[in-house]
Amino acid sequence: MKRLTDLVDGEMILKYQLVPEELDALVSVKSDEDIRHMFEECDRCETAGGPRLRAFLFPAKPVVVENGSTETYQITEAIHPGYF
């Protein structure tokens, strides 16, 4: 995880979506063991010939934009309209 956070400006949260789960069931990645598990899931999906995992990178602290909403809210709403 340290190498991932070194690549971005500021702290980030990595989450991924298991196939065929919905976006409200994102899995958080907080440790090196979580990353290993994510890659195992990715390998499993690839071996089964199914779709790959979808990964999402969020800022650790929500960014407030001009209209007062958070950037995370805007991303979620863009991906899954009507979620909130």
pLDDT by residue (tens digit) across 17-49? 987 888 788 999 989 899 999 999 989 888 988
pLDDT band at 66 (very low <50, low <70, confident <90, very high): low
Mention every residue, 6+ apart, whose C-beta is less than 8 A from residue 17: 23, 25, 26, 27, 53, 54, 55, 56
pLDDT at 24: 80
pLDDT band at 4 (very low <50, low <70, confident <90, very high): low
| Alpha helices (H) in 8-57, listed in sequence order | 32-48
pLDDT band at 2 (very low <50, low <70, confident <90, very high): low
What tokens appear for 39 in the block? 């890659």
Q: Where are the domains of the chain?
A: 2-79
Shortest CA distance to 16 belongs to which of 3, 6, 45? 45
